[in-house]
């Protein structure tokens, strides 16, 4: 059965929702914005009017005591927060999912059973996982852009900037003894240096089973109301000097100078909240022409292809626990974007965002026409022409990436191609065999199922053929050779290719001789991979690269023009996975009308959804026993446990795991999602429907103590009440 997204019917107009909200309670409007920590001093008045009761210098300072020193980039795309002086980290369940998958097996199934260490000795090392602190952020625009006119040729301008960036980074690293990275903001109109410290010995402390941490699964993902206990806990370990160190049994828990106090008193609707973390990617200031590409090309193609792929994966995962473990993390990753893009398209349509962009552009164009000495009048017409010229290539490229390169065996053609380069390097046989063994990629095959991938091939290749307006000659020729029968083609590819299993790959490596490159040249997976990548390299990539280079210049000038045209507007830089603070208020919503209006969910709602026959809604027996006995300890409120809440903070991907703070800067929850109706906030923030979803810290502590039996961890936390 094809996976379908259930879209709520008869979504009420935003104006009605806003009116209902005002009748229920009165609070300030949502504050759109992803603010740079060093610039928060400029927003002090607005923050305080909104409700901040913390000295502004406590939010960010580079001396080690600011709250920025209690937040880390978790891995490469999530946020986590330090919640004890002993380096205890809190983040989302889904942020730790990939790491925990690598630690799990059928014997130690942490997805089914969870994991809670009973002491430090039981904490599990997590190879490859890192966390990064932000120690300092400084504006270095003057050092990067001095004497660089806007109209300078891109290639020359970019090369000068690259040299200056490298030099400034080196100076900061030398003066601080830490890592330094310079990133562009406002589409390259500003540059800021970020001084960081990365810890590499990270250990798993607590991970609830999927029946809590992933409760509701993909059905409830991006939805409200929500009953997902989306948290996990890790710990930072350091060397004797408290500095980053590779894993060692001699390492000790990181001694944190800054960590979050945890407020256990809760909140009420209208209370001030902040989210501090690493939002990943927004494009709030792009033109209508680029937004139309998202709406007409990229989002629809991704949704179409992933619907097919996810349906196959889900059916097979439902029938095999072993396959479920193999594909759980991959499925979650693919499904997350799939559902988000559907909400994004819905939001863009409902809000008429493209039309609003066009109206704004008309106003900008009128202003630009009156600035003959500045390079702004031709920007929007140039954007229009550039997008029209590349749309067909973009469409073809998206289909290649989501169909052909969405097949795991074709992806493994890249490994075969690396092996081929080893053969061609003419290295000695012993060295060749050793190098090839290292390339075999055991980690991939640990989480791969041939039969499932073969089904994906048979489903996605027809989609590619029916929608592509140009393809590699090898594809059309081979398709005809199999009498236009995708099933026959798949049978032959998955029978013959060495990339279908680790045994075949290792056999190829162990017995390799100098002349065996012909085996790879004849491999159908290698042929599929190289044919399509060469086609992209020759036919598509040059067009796309010229387009992106041109748009980089146009977007930089357009952003600068917008800031000049509206100097009093509060422009914030688009998200780029750097540290930001956003703020707003606890605020409810229900897209179906006032009858279901809410800002908080409880354990009652999770129990009501329990369905032992559906994996996504299967509540663990121990949690049901705790509920039956009302054994909540100190975490009970009105006969239940608060579970999740929503607020109107402006968040994005990467804010997963971010601390949600009250007016005093105390932790009240952990951000983990947005509501489906507001996912277009990466392009357009609508305060009537944009909401971030967070797990209540009291539910986290309840699960940790009463369900997980890890109450010992509470002893190292600073728990406070109002």
Question: Once rounded to an integer, what is the mean pLDDT over residues 77-92?
Answer: 98
The DSSP bridge pattern shows strands 201-207 and 124-125 to be antiparallel
Residue 63's pLDDT is what?
85
> Smallest Cα–Cα separation from 496: which of 520, 524, 474, 475?
524
Least confident residue range of 116-120, 139-143, 264-268, 518-522: 518-522
pLDDT exceeds 70 at position 23: no
Range among 362-366, 429-433, 445-449 with highest mean pLDDT value: 362-366
Q: Map out the domains of the chain as residue ranges.
A: 26-130+200-278+578-720, 133-198, 288-551
Q: Write out pLDDT tens, residues 655-689.
A: 999 999 999 999 999 999 999 999 999 999 999 89
Residues belonging to the chain: 722
Assess contact for 238 and 89: CB atoms under 8 A: no
Which one is catalytic: 94, 227, 585, 650? 94
Label residue 57 by pLDDT band (50, 70, 90): very high
pTM value?
Answer: 0.88
Maximum Cα–Cα distance for the chain, whole Å?
79
The residue with tokens 């990365």 is 198
pLDDT band at residue 511, thresholds of 50, 70 and 90?
A: confident
Let me know the angle formed at the C-alpha of 592 by 587 and 593, rounded to the nearest 5 degrees: 65
185: pLDDT strictly greater than 70: yes
Q: How much is the pLDDT for 423?
A: 87
Alpha-carbon distance of 383 to 97, in angstroms, equals: 40
DSSP 152: S
d(C-alpha 302, C-alpha 321), whole Å: 27
The pLDDT, as a whole number, for residue 595 is 57
How far the first Cα of the chain sits from its last, in Å, is: 51
Does 179 have pLDDT greater than 60? yes
Extended beta strands in 531-593, E state: 580-585
> Residue 715 has which token pair?
């002893």
Q: Is the pLDDT of residue 279 over 90?
A: yes
- 307 included as an active-site residue: no
β-strand pairing of 262-263 with 719-720: parallel
Q: Per DSSP, what are the bridge partners of residue 646?
A: 693
pLDDT of 153 reads 87
Q: Is the pLDDT of residue 25 over 70?
A: no
The better pLDDT of the pair 518, 357 is held by 357
Helices (H), 407-499: 408-424, 429-439, 442-446, 450-467, 473-481, 486-496
Indicate whether 105 pLDDT > 90.
no
Side-chain-side CA neighbours of residue 561 (13 Å): 30
Residue range 519-530: mean pLDDT, rounded: 96
Measured torsion, CA atoms of residues 156, 162, 164, 166, in degrees rounded to the nearest 10:
-160
Span 344-369, average pLDDT: 96
Mean pLDDT of the chain: 93
Beta bridge partners of 234: 89, 204
d(CA 279, CA 573): 11
The pairing of strands 600-602 and 642-647 is antiparallel
Given this structure, which CATH class describes domain 26-130+200-278+578-720? mainly beta
Cβ atoms of 534 and 418 within 8 Å: the answer is: no
Q: How far apart are CA 431 and CA 443, in angstroms?
A: 22
| Residue 339 contacts residue 4 (beta carbons within 8 Å) | no
What is the pLDDT, as a whole number, of residue 441?
Answer: 84
Of the pLDDT bands very low, low, confident and very high (cuts 50, 70, 90), residue 100 is: very high
Q: How confident is the model at residue 18 (pLDDT cuts 50, 70, 90)?
A: very low
Which pLDDT band holds residue 9 (cuts at 50, 70, 90)? Answer: very low
Q: Where are the beta strands (DSSP E) in 50-95?
A: 71-74, 78-82, 88-91
Tell me whether strands 71-74 and 78-82 are parallel, antiparallel or unpaired: antiparallel
Which among 597, 700, 601, 589 is positioned nearest to 216, based on CA atoms? 601
Q: What is the pLDDT of residue 126?
A: 97
Could you confirm whether 656 is annotated as catalytic? Answer: yes
Distance, in Å, from the CA atom of 204 to the CA atom of 128, rounded to the nearest integer, reads: 12
The model's pLDDT over 199-222, given as tens digits with 9 standing for 90+, comes to 999 999 999 999 999 999 988 999
**CA pair distance 140, 414, nearest whole angstrom:** 39
Q: Which residue has the higher pLDDT, 265 or 11?
A: 265
Q: What is the pLDDT of residue 593?
A: 57
Half-sphere exposure at residue 641, Cβ-oriented, CA atoms within 13 angstroms: 30
pLDDT tens digits, 586-617: 999 976 655 578 999 999 999 999 999 888 99
Residue 642, pLDDT score: 98
Tokens of 348: 């863009």
DSSP secondary structure string for all residues of 247-268: --TT-EE---S----EE-S---
- Rounded to an integer, the average pLDDT of 160-183 is 98
Active-site entry in 656, 681, 688, 694: 656
Distance CA 126, CA 581 (A): 29
Provide the pLDDT confidence category of residue 190 given band limits of 50, 70 and 90: very high
Query: What distance in Å separates the CA atoms of residue 336 and residue 467, rounded to the nearest whole number?
Result: 24
Rounded to an integer, the average pLDDT of 63-71 is 92
pLDDT of the residue at 591: 63
Q: What is the pLDDT of residue 21?
A: 37
Spatial separation of the C-alpha atoms in residues 196 and 699, rounded to whole Å: 32
Predicted pLDDT of residue 11: 40
Q: What percent of the chain has pLDDT over 70?
A: 95
Q: Is the N-terminal amide bond of 225 cis, ω within 30° of 0?
A: yes
**What's the pLDDT band for 401 if we cut at 50, 70, 90?**
very high
What is the model's pLDDT at position 594? Answer: 56
* Residue 8 pLDDT greater than 70, yes or no: no
List the beta bridge partners of residue 695: 644, 670
Count CB neighbours of 1 within 10 A: 6
**Residue 10 pLDDT grade (very low, low, confident, very high; cuts 50, 70, 90):** very low
pLDDT digits (tens, 9 = 90+) for 700-709: 999 999 999 9
Structure letter (DSSP) for residue 42? G
Q: Is 232 a catalytic residue?
A: no
Q: Of the residues 230, 397, 449, 523, which is catalytic? A: 230
Q: What is the pLDDT of residue 1?
A: 36
């Amino acid at each position: 059965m094809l996976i379908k997204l259930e879209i709520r019917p008869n979504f009420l107009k935003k104006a009605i929702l806003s009116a209902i909200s005002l009748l229920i309670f009165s609070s300030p409007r949502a504050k759109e914005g992803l603010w740079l920590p060093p610039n928060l001093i400029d927003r002090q008045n607005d923050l305080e009017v909104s409700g901040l009761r913390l000295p502004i210098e406590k939010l960010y300072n580079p001396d080690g005591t600011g709250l920025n020193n209690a937040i880390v980039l978790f891995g490469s795309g999530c946020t986590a927060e330090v919640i004890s002086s002993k380096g205890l980290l809190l983040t989302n369940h889904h942020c730790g999912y990939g790491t925990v998958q690598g630690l799990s097996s059928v014997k130690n199934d942490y997805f089914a059973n969870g994991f809670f260490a009973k002491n430090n000795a039981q904490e599990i090392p997590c190879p490859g996982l890192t966390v990064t602190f932000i120690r300092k952020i400084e504006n270095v625009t003057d050092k990067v852009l001095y004497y660089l006119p806007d109209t300078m040729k891109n290639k020359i301008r970019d090369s000068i900037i690259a040299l200056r960036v490298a030099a400034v980074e080196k100076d900061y690293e030398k003066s601080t003894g830490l890592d330094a990275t310079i990133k562009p903001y406002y589409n390259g109109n500003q540059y800021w240096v970020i001084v960081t410290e990365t810890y590499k010995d990270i250990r798993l402390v607590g991970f609830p089973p999927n029946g809590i941490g992933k409760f509701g699964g993909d059905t409830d993902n991006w939805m409200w109301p929500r009953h997902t206990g989306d948290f996990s806990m890790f710990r930072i370990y350091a060397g004797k000097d408290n500095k980053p160190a590779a894993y060692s049994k001699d390492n000790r828990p990181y001694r944190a100078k800054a960590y979050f106090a945890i407020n256990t008193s809760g909140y009420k609707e209208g209370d001030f909240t902040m989210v501090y973390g690493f939002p990943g990617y927004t494009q709030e200031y792009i033109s209508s022409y680029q937004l139309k590409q998202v709406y007409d090309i990229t989002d629809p193609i991704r949704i179409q292809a992933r619907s097919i792929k996810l349906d196959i994966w889900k059916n097979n995962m439902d029938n095999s626990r072993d396959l479920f473990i193999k594909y759980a993390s991959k499925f979650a990753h693919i499904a997350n974007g799939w559902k988000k893009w559907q909400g994004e398209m819905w939001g863009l349509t409902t809000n008429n965002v493209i039309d609003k962009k066009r109206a704004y552009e008309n106003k900008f164009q009128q202003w630009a026409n009156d600035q003959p000495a500045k390079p702004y009048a031709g920007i929007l017409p140039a954007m229009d022409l550039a997008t029209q010229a590349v749309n067909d290539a973009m469409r073809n490229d998206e289909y290649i990436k989501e169909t052909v390169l969405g097949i795991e065996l074709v992806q493994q053609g890249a490994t075969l191609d690396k092996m081929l380069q080893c053969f061609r390097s003419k290295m000695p046989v012993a060295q060749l065999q050793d190098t090839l063994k290292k390339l075999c990629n055991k980690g991939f095959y640990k989480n791969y199922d041939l039969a499932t991938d073969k089904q994906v091939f048979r489903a996605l290749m027809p989609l590619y053929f029916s929608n592509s307006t140009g393809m590699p000659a090898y594809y059309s020729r081979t398709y005809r050779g199999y009498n236009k029968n995708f099933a026959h083609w798949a049978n032959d590819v998955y029978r013959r290719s060495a990339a279908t299993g680790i045994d075949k790959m290792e056999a190829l490596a162990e017995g390799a001789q100098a002349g065996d490159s012909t085996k790879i040249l004849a491999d159908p997976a290698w042929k599929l991979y190289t044919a399509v990548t060469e086609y992209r390299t020759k036919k598509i990539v040059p067009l796309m690269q010229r387009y992106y280079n041109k748009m980089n210049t146009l977007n930089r000038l357009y952003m600068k023009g917008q800031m000049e045209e509206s100097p009093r507007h509060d422009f914030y830089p688009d998200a780029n996975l750097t540290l930001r603070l956003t703020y707003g208020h606890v605020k409810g919503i229900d897209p179906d009308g006032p009858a279901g209006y809410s800002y908080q969910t409880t354990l009652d709602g999770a129990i009501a959804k329990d369905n032992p026959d559906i994996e996504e809604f299967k509540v663990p027996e121990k949690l049901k026993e705790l509920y039956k006995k009302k054994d909540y300890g100190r975490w009970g409120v009105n006969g239940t446990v608060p579970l999740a809440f929503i607020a109107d903070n402006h968040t994005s991907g990467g804010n997963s795991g971010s601390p949600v703070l009250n007016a005093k800067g105390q932790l009240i929850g952990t951000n983990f999602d947005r509501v489906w109706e507001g996912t277009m906030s990466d392009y357009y923030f609508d305060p009537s429907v944009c909401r971030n979803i967070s797990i209540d810290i009291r539910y986290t502590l309840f699960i940790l103590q009463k369900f997980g039996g890890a109450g010992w961890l509470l002893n190292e936390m600073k728990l406070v009440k109002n």
